[in-house]
């Protein structure tokens, strides 16, 4: 692929990460992004369909804990409902303490072993430990008015509970403010969370060449976390596939290929992925292989890919495509949309930047995930590699 396609790529990147910007599932901007995908893919002469699903449109507001002589700033947990409640502040740090507590109407500070890691949302299908569900069920049974948890990182507000299906409002406190909060245990406090959520809808966008027979599937998600323009996560992957679609008008394919733009990878319950898993992937027999693209193009980073279940007879050609396009073979990782195909025993590739895992939550998922982080020529390395693989293995 020639360098003049950098202009096409930048057109899509700017539209998604700048003109549209933040694209959380269910938001107006998310719906704008879906409409943009439909328009661009239709213009590339692909057959386009959407998979609609219900979801929440959620907006963050101010969050604060108020005591008689102090105010402690908080951050509403993603997808939390609103709260304006007064009650005693109760500190709970173990499962036994939670089981034995009486919490109705109280403001609970949850910490210790209960907040050692993020808790899987109640209705998350793909990873849901019983221990996580026990904690959430006990909290809903005890009916506190609100919950505060410490951030999972010292330099960011990272929620322990991020679940729009969870009935109790939740907020996050910075780690350096925890001692002040513990000092208030037993006092009467007011918890205010000014978030808003309403019923909305989102959709996956699917496009195919129209040819029949075994097909390759290339995927990327186009939604973002609530507070980020999502350049690396994942305007780059989306723009890469849109660029391929335009390129294939100039150099048409002879075989069947499908592009899948997932909506919900950064949403608490992965509604788009779940819908796709329950519909399209119930008939996986005609899928020859799949590739997911997420987080490519990071400046000063190599571009890499991990292979899952890749047939031995294809490995030499795969290694050659990697070598020709500067792609580094990476060890497999388990988080991402590529796992939908892995779970169905479909040969799968997952493309990303080698250095992306070092900046998750510190840059990725934050307002700092802007186009300044993206090197278009590195994105085009992946685009070229995908084009070669599609022409070779379908």
Q: What is the pLDDT of residues 68-91, one digit of tens each?
A: 889 999 999 999 999 999 999 999
CA dihedral over 233, 234, 235, 239, signed as positive or negative: positive
- Domain closes at, from 194, 220, 254: 194
- Domain closes at, from 151, 171, 194: 194
Question: CATH no. for residue 228?
Answer: 3.40.630.10
Quick one: 283 exposed, middle or buried, by C-beta within 10 A (0-12, 13-18, 19+)? exposed
Full residue range of the structural domain in which residue 259 is found? 5-58+200-393
- Domain closes at, from 194, 226, 260: 194
Strand order across the 348-353 sheet: 47-59, 196-208, 256-262, 215-221, 287-293, 348-353, 303-308, 327-329
The pLDDT value recorded for residue 284 is: 75
What's the pLDDT tens digit per position in 198-229?
A: 999 999 999 999 778 889 999 999 999 999 99
The pLDDT value recorded for residue 255 is: 84
Count of the separate structural domains present in the chain: 2
Distances (CA, A) of 14 to 7, 180, 370: 10, 43, 10
Give the span between the Cα atoms of 330 and 354, in whole angstroms: 8
Residues 69 and 110 in one domain: yes
Residues 95 and 107 in one domain: yes
Residues 379 and 254 in one domain: yes
Residues 174 and 101 in one domain: yes
Question: CATH no. for residue 129?
Answer: 3.50.30.30
The pLDDT value recorded for residue 73 is: 97
The pLDDT value recorded for residue 393 is: 87
Residues 35 and 117 in one domain: no
Residues 66 and 121 in one domain: yes
Residues 287 and 138 in one domain: no
Residues 52 and 84 in one domain: no
pTM score: 0.95
The pLDDT value recorded for residue 156 is: 86
Q: Average pLDDT of each block of 10 consecutive residues along the chain (394 residues)?
A: 81 98 98 98 96 98 94 97 97 97 97 96 92 97 98 91 97 96 95 97 94 90 97 98 95 92 97 95 87 97 97 95 96 95 96 96 94 97 96 86
Residues 65 and 23 in one domain: no
Give the span between the Cα atoms of 256 and 290, in whole angstroms: 12
User: Could you give the angle at the alpha carbon of 240 between the alpha carbons of 238 and 243, nearest 5°?
Assistant: 110
């Amino acid at each position: 692929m020639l360098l003049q396609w950098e202009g096409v790529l930048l057109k899509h990147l700017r539209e998604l990460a700048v003109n549209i910007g933040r694209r959380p599932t269910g938001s107006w901007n998310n719906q704008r992004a879906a409409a943009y995908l439909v328009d661009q893919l239709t213009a590339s002469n692909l057959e386009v369909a959407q998979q609609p699903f219900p979801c929440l449109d959620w907006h963050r507001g101010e969050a604060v804990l108020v005591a008689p002589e102090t105010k402690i700033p908080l951050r509403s947990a993603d997808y939390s409902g609103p709260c304006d409640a007064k009650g005693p502040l109760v500190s709970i740090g173990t499962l036994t303490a939670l089981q034995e507590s009486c919490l109705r109407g109280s403001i609970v500070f949850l910490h210790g072993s209960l907040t050692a890691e993020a808790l899987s949302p109640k209705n998350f299908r793909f990873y849901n430990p019983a221990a996580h569900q026990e904690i959430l069920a006990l909290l809903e049974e005890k009916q506190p008015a609100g919950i505060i948890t410490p951030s999972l990182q010292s330099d960011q507000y990272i929620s322990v509970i991020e679940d729009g299906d969870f009935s109790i409002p939740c907020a996050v406190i910075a780690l350096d403010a925890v001692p002040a909060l513990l000092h208030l245990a037993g006092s009467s406090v007011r918890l205010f969370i000014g978030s808003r959520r309403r019923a909305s809808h989102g959709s996956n966008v699917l496009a195919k060449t129209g040819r029949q027979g075994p097909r390759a599937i290339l995927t990327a998600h186009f939604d973002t976390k609530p507070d980020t323009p999502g350049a690396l996560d994942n305007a780059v992957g989306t723009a890469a596939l849109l660029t391929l679609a335009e390129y294939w008008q100039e150099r048409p394919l002879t075989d069947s290929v499908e592009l899948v733009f997932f909506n919900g990878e950064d949403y608490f319950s992965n509604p788009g992925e779940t819908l796709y898993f329950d519909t399209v992937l119930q008939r996986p027999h005609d899928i020859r292989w799949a590739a997911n693209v997420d987080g490519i193009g990071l400046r000063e980073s190599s571009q890499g890919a991990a292979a899952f279940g890749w047939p031995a007879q294809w490995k030499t050609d795969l290694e050659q495509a990697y070598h020709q396009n500067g792609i580094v073979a990476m060890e497999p990782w388990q988080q991402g949309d590529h796992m939908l195909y892995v779970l169905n025993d479909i040969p799968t590739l997952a493309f990303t930047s080698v250095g992306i895992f070092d900046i998750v939550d510190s840059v990725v998922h934050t307002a700092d995930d802007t186009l300044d982080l993206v090197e278009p020529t590195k994105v085009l390395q992946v685009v070229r590699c995908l084009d070669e693989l599609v022409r070779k293995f379908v």
